[in-house]
Amino acid sequence: MSFSFCVSCRFPFAQSRTPNPQTTFRSHRDVKVRSNTNHRLLERDVLWSGGGSGAIKAIDESIMLRFQSDWSATDASSAVSFLSNRWRVALEIFRYERARVGLDEDRWFLGWHEKKSYVGKTYLNEEDEMGPARGEIYVSKYALLDDDFSTFIGVLRHELAHAMCGPLEDHGWKWQKACKAIECDEEWVCEANRKFYVRPKTSLMWTKRDGQLFLEGGKDAMFRALPRGCWERTIYDSESNRTVYENADGLKIDPFALKETYEIL
């Protein structure tokens, strides 16, 4: 199996990926984006084989307002329930955005990780004997805990653009064009949005909610709130080698079998 990954929005003091050296030179290239009031169509040379149809629907503002309301209305009386409900809303948003930007629902999966050092990560798997080109997007637990709805949307669209452009592009001109086409906020059209970390009140809130999670559920509290089968380390080891998830009955689960993955958790 051949795969690559893009790590996005790293902590300011961590080593960052060097931006594509051709970005400045090639960003002026005219990639055609046909559009009308309802949708846009990216040309195939922007997309990789797992990058979907390139047909991008306009954002439905009424749907986004509902998502924002659900995000903001999450009950914080229980830290475990709070994080669990945020994950539920995040999945709904992901499914909507995945369809909106033309990605195949059978090839793209949302997971989570517990790190602060990077907020988003996309694994891109080339076509092989196991199936077609496909991938996974992992968002940080701290993006889920964030009360700023636009933060989660920014992270997600940043990663969706990686999903569309593939493993060789990083943050180059194709990725930038995809970001523009799917209406990713400009603050997230970069290698690392430093503003994500420079928010003292938000950092204090993360610390408070982490403490509440530990008091309610101990060291495994995040697994009471979030599905273990969707955790990055369930599927990839610390060196990014892909593993196979095995449930309590010894049944091996392919994370790309989305319904099966979610149903066993």
Determine the straight-line distance between the first and last CA of the chain, rounded to whole angstroms: 26
Rounded CA-CA distance 85/225 in Å is 8
Give the pLDDT confidence score for residue 23 in this predicted structure: 22
CB 147 within 8 A of CB 126: no
E-assigned strands of the chain?
A: 3-10, 33-35, 39-42, 55-57, 108-113, 118-125, 134-140, 245-246, 252-253
| In-domain check, residue 16 | yes
For residue 75, the model assigns a pLDDT of 85
Which one, of 41, 7, 43, lies nearest residue 174 by Cα?
Answer: 43
For residues 23 and 169, the answer to whether their CB atoms sit within 8 Å is: no
Rounded CA separation 19/152 (Å): 23
User: For the CA atoms of 50, 56, 61, 66, what is the dihedral angle to 10 degrees?
Assistant: -20
- Tokens 């990055």 correspond to 232
Q: What is the DSSP letter of 251?
A: -
Residue 242 and residue 234 in contact, taking contact as beta carbons nearer than 8 Å: no
Confidence at residue 12, expressed as pLDDT on a 0 to 100 scale: 31
Residue 233 lies in a domain: no
* pLDDT values of the chain reduced to their tens digit, one per residue, 265 residues: 455 566 554 333 222 232 322 222 222 233 344 444 578 899 889 999 999 999 999 999 999 999 999 999 988 889 999 999 999 999 999 999 999 999 999 899 999 999 988 999 999 989 877 678 999 999 999 999 999 999 999 999 999 999 999 998 889 999 999 999 999 999 999 988 878 878 899 999 999 999 999 999 998 999 999 988 888 988 888 888 777 656 678 776 665 554 544 444 4
Q: Which pLDDT does position 19 carry in this prediction?
A: 31
Q: So what's the pLDDT on residue 5?
A: 61
Cβ atoms within 10 Å of 34's Cβ, excluding its own: 11
Q: What are phi and psi for residue 32, nearest 5 degrees?
A: -70, 130
Residue 234 lies in a domain: no
250 found inside a domain: no
- Is 264 part of a structural domain of the chain? no
- At 62 the pLDDT is 97
pLDDT at 261: 46
Cα distances (Å, whole numbers) of residue 15 to 9, 18, 50, 213: 11, 9, 28, 29
Give the pTM: 0.82
- Asked if residue 215 is part of any domain, the answer here is yes
- The pLDDT value given to residue 169: 87
Q: How confident is the model over 102-115, as pLDDT tens digits?
A: 999 989 999 999 99
Its domain, for residue 115, covers: 3-221
**Angle at which helices 149-165 and 61-72 cross, to 10°:** 130
Residue 255 belongs to a domain: no
Residue 226 placed within a domain: no
Q: How far apart are CA 124 and CA 197, in angstroms?
A: 26
Report the domain count for the chain. 1
